[in-house]
Amino acid sequence: MNHKLSIDEYDALEQVSKLPRNARPSACVARNTKRLTGIKLLTHRKDGGLELTDTGKQILFIKQCIDGLRAIANDPSVVISATVASFLGKKGHITVNPDSGLNEISERGRECLLDIDTNTTKQK
């Protein structure tokens, strides 16, 4: 799971996750299919279509959680998906402000973002 993915590759994973059956994939998906199937994030179905593997679903969910955490850190009024909000809440990364009813990032969430940013800059 230590594959460095580009923004384009994450976008392709997102598009495949929302792609209806028997629909033609976009150019973005077509450009990235070979690499994403090679690292086992996408697979070909028997009917020739593409689908995410369990690992691909997990990586996409992690990215959505990190993006949601960053969005809440920047603007507490932002709306994130219910599954991401539930996960971040269970892990203690966000809390609900009792006065405003909005999500806020917790100290643990700030530490997590700082750790992610620190590790990302070290890898570059």
Instruction: Decide if 56 contacts 88 (C-beta within 8 A).
Output: no
Tens digits of residue pLDDT in 31-84: 999 999 999 999 999 988 899 999 999 999 999 999 999 999 999 889 999 999
On the 0-12 / 13-18 / 19+ scale of CB atoms within 10 A, 41 is buried
- Which H or E element spans position 44? strand 42-44
Please name the residues in contact with 1: beta carbons below 8 A apart, sequence gap of 6 or more: 55, 58, 59
**Mean pLDDT estimate for the chain:** 90
> CB of 16 within 8 A of CB of 51?
yes
Is residue 2 pLDDT above 70, yes or no? no
Task: Tell me how far CA of residue 15 lies from CA of 46, 51, 57, 101, in angstroms.
Answer: 19, 10, 12, 32
**Residue 9 — pLDDT band, cuts 50, 70, 90?**
very high
